Amino acid sequence: MSLNRQSFVLGSAALASIGIITPARAADFDLKFGHDLPQEHPVNIQSTLAFSRILKATNGRVSIKAFPASVLGSDASMLAQLRSGAIEMLAMPGAFITISPLASIENLAFAFPNRETVFAAMDGDLGKVIRDDIGSKGIYVLDKIWENGFRDITTANKPIHNVADLAGLKIRVSPGKIRVDTFQSLGASPTPIALSELYTSLQTHIVDAQENPLILIDQQKFYEVQKYVALSEHIWSGYWTLFNPDVWAKFGPGIQAIVAKEMAAATIAARNDMKNLNTSVKDKLERRGMTFTTVDKQSFKQKLSAANYYQRWKTEFGTPAWTALEKYANTLA
């Protein structure tokens, strides 16, 4: 053994003996995954677990880090970053995917009777129509949609029992044309505000009401600035997993298969987590001082029909998507 070679071996052994080791090889793909949900939301928890499995299954080649709670910017900003390649991966509701207006069809008010029907539609023909449309706009989308859940209305000063109680109500809605139109059609006064700005907007009475799934009402501590919860379940919302198409193509078939498999498993696990959490969160919110009311959903549907809401969105979405929706949906008129 040459002196240089012997010195290298002895030196390496000495470094190892005192706990200094050569760092692992950097990942071939180092990705950022952005979304606007809280860190403790099942979407963030299960995706993070999936990223650990992906790192192991790819022998360290693919490293993905989650950036929850809009730390990478607003939804519009993150979508622009995804398209430019500044962010490689994103979870986003259909209503926010502005390049694909069709993706907001999941948010059609009172379309689905229950979550089982939602998943039959989204894992079936309706989901395929949506994914094909998103893909045609130059973004790769994974097969399974995350669940955010059915949305309910909270208010600061008065309970909501029927659609008449919404008249003129200053309510925050998520940015998205269909969500604004839904509450305008119901007679309310909707204001689009990002989730990251919502608590302060409620606290300062820029708006007096908001609508979100119960789990987010709890996680975002809206019970501190809202008193009443109306169990309206007016809209179901989910999050699609989007990829920058160039990054996805560079993965190659082997890594693509691993990522798709682990993300699908994570999505199903998160759906189960949501189901379990929803069984307890109502009681939790009641203990925190919130008062729940039942809602005359028929009065909401009648108001929407009178405003030509369903006809308007049938024209907006087009026949193929509407036909796929009607395979699963409630009667919409």
279 falls in which pLDDT band (50, 70, 90)? Answer: confident
CATH placement of domain 24-326: 3.40.190.170
The per-residue pLDDT for range 155-181, each reduced to its tens digit, is 999 999 999 999 999 999 998 899 999
pTM of the model: 0.90
For residue 76, is pLDDT > 80?
Answer: yes
Report CA-CA distances (Å) from 292 to 30, 160, 170, 201, 284. 45, 9, 19, 22, 12
For residue 99, is pLDDT > 50?
Answer: yes
Q: For the chain, which residues make up each domain, given as ranges?
A: 24-326
For residue 17, is pLDDT > 80?
Answer: no
pLDDT at 161: 98
Taking the C-alpha atoms of residue 231 and residue 295, their distance in angstroms, rounded to an integer, is 6
pLDDT at 24: 58
The per-residue pLDDT for range 211-253, each reduced to its tens digit, is 999 999 999 999 999 999 999 999 999 999 999 999 999 999 9
Mean local confidence (pLDDT), 145-152: 97
pLDDT at 9: 39
pLDDT at 10: 40
pLDDT at 330: 87
**β-pairing verdict for 170-173 and 228-243:** unpaired
For residue 263, is pLDDT > 90?
Answer: yes
For residue 22, is pLDDT > 50?
Answer: no
Mean local confidence (pLDDT), 301-328: 97
Question: For all residues of the chain together, what is the average pLDDT?
Answer: 93
331 falls in which pLDDT band (50, 70, 90)? Answer: confident
* Terminal Cα distance for the chain, rounded: 85
For residue 29, is pLDDT > 90?
Answer: yes
For residue 98, is pLDDT > 50?
Answer: yes
Contacts of 215 (CB under 8 A, 6+ apart): 41, 149, 274, 277, 278, 281
Taking the C-alpha atoms of residue 180 and residue 192, their distance in angstroms, rounded to an integer, is 7
Considering only residues 298 and 8, tell me which one the structure prediction assigns the higher pLDDT: 298
11 falls in which pLDDT band (50, 70, 90)? Answer: very low
Q: Residue length, the chain?
A: 333
Q: Which tokens is 32 given?
A: 């950022």
pLDDT at 102: 97
pLDDT at 5: 41
For residue 190, is pLDDT > 50?
Answer: yes
333 falls in which pLDDT band (50, 70, 90)? Answer: confident
